[in-house]
Amino acid sequence: MVIKILMLVVFFAVLIAVGVLSRKQARNVEGFVLGGRSVGPWLTAFAYGTSYFSAVIFIGYAGQFGWKFGVASTWIGIGNAVIGSLLAWVILGRRTRLMTHKLDSSTMPEFFSKRYDSRSLRIGSSIIIFVFLIPYTASLYNGLSRLFEMAFNIDYKYCIVAMAVLTGIYVIVGGYMATAINDFIQGVIMLIGITAVVLAVLNLHGGFTGSMMELAKIPGDFPEYNGAYTSFVGPLPLDLLGVVILTSLGTWGLPQMVQKFYAIKHEDAIRKGTIISTFFAIVVAGGCYFLGGFGRLFLTQEQVDAMGFDAIVPAMLANLPDFLIAVVVILVLSASMSTLSSLVLTSSSTLTLDFISGTVVKKMSEQAKMIWLRVLVVVFIVISSVIALIQYSSNVTFIAQLMGVSWGALAGAFLAPFLFSLYWKRTTKASCWVCFIFGSVLLVANMLVRPQFPEILRSPINCGAFAMLAGFIIVPLVSVITKKPDDKLIDNAFSSYERPVTVMSKSILKEDEE
């Protein structure tokens, strides 16, 4: 217990110290929200990865989908690395950095507003972001609580208060730069921690080979399928594909993820960031889901029915040495706090810059914006904390379902409009609105009248994946049948991709010279 407490104290002290040291970069709005657009590839890549993977992944998704799919759940981590990280950086990174810089936009709603000259898009998207980031944040607290109860026997409400207060302090003091530096520190902990934990857990059943042999003996829900949980694609490949789509492609439309590209120093840094971010995702996401695939070696179906999927990973870790348990606690705490800081910063900046400024308060000074930003950080943390407590006491839903609702609504609303806005000049304001409404309303309906949905869409995860894919039909279809956007507006936005290139004379072909 002494080891665990000492490691926590050191960890918390470092977080607060980084916040204090970063306060100089948070003296104006751009510095507070984007770190002055001067963040290098290493910090940006780690900020992207640590915002991506949290207690929701380690405790919720790894446990639930490892139980459902076995070691085939590792494909979710691979999908996160290839689609959610590599392709996201390649397809979105450069164009997002250039166009948002050209339009001088700091948030996703501000991007839509300036890209389409539409105040209504700005207000509508800011409301969607604020509403649907709350359940995601609540899910972070719940995942962490399971681990703290296992390691310290600490009451859940104290975990929430400590995590909320500490995150609030360093975000309020240091803004985006503090979160980026802390994300880097937390990311290093995650890389080391997940590697050590996977090796230690497998060693409990004779290493990789022994664990696979034991897992192959378990019939689970598929007695007629020998080795169902050790097979290449698992017993439910289509369900597995739905999870891969939601958790991988979904990041392309999440404001807290896309905003990382706004802040990167310059487009050349994106190349390095792509490699770093992909490696991070392979180790962390791949390791988490691979670990979760062995959950059936530690709990029975009856125990899972009684305690829920969120108890699986803590049960796998309970017999580890105290030092490793302390490492796991710091690992999951790192993942959760980095994601929480990203969410509260995104939400507060969206509400301040895109809703209150210019709508509620017509003319807001720089100093007033800074005050609002910091106040709303506190408000968002308090609201999400209260919801987390209510959810826990009433046992409304699982972590994965909370995250599925949030990711599905946000990505369903924003993924296709944002992607088409970067690549297709014909995209219209009306198509954005239709996709906003479709994605958010569909997931709200899924929560309220789930039994009325077709069986395959009753899961918020599948429903969220459907909303994202539907956007790729909605946006081009509506754009073709609605009024073409103003040419000057579009030319201004897309001019960000055009720049003169100087070529050395020795690089020019002889016939071109002639």
**The length of the chain, given as a count of residues:** 514
Three-class DSSP category at 483: coil
Instruction: Convert the pLDDT of each residue in 441-453 to its tens digit.
Output: 999 898 888 888 8
Looking at residue 513, what is its pLDDT? 47
Measured between alpha carbons, how far is 15 from 135 in angstroms, rounded to an integer? 25
Instruction: Convert the pLDDT of each residue in 201-221 to its tens digit.
Output: 889 888 889 999 998 888 877
Please give the single-letter amino acid code of residue 90: V
Contact 351, 376 (CB under 8 A): yes
Fold of the domain spanning 37-392 = Sodium/glucose cotransporter (1.20.1730)
CA–CA distance from 196 to each of 63, 276, 345 (Å)? 18, 20, 31
Bridge-partner residues for 402, per DSSP?
A: none
Measured between alpha carbons, how far is 280 from 283 in angstroms, rounded to an integer? 5
Instruction: Convert the pLDDT of each residue in 385-443 to its tens digit.
Output: 887 777 666 655 455 566 668 888 999 999 999 999 999 999 999 999 999 999 999 99
Enter the tokens of residue 295: 């959950």
Bridge-partner residues for 361, per DSSP?
A: 357
pLDDT reading at 514 higher than 90? no
Looking at residue 473, what is its pLDDT? 96
pLDDT reading at 361 higher than 80? no
Contact 332, 88 (CB under 8 A): no
Instruction: Convert the pLDDT of each residue in 70-100 to its tens digit.
Output: 999 999 999 999 999 999 999 999 999 899 9
For 312, residues 6+ apart whose C-beta sits below 8 A from its C-beta are 63, 64, 66, 67, 292, 295, 298, 299, 304
pLDDT reading at 146 higher than 70? no
Find the distance separating the first CA and the last CA of the chain, reported in whole Å.
78
CA–CA distance from 335 to each of 32, 46, 54, 322, 495 (Å)? 21, 11, 4, 20, 38
Looking at residue 252, what is its pLDDT? 92
Nearest CA-CA partner of 415 in 247, 243, 250, 261: 250
Confidence of residue 181 (pLDDT cuts 50, 70, 90): confident
Q: What 8-state DSSP symbol labels residue 309?
A: G
Three-class DSSP category at 137: helix
Q: What angle do CA 288, 293, 298 make, to 5 degrees?
A: 105
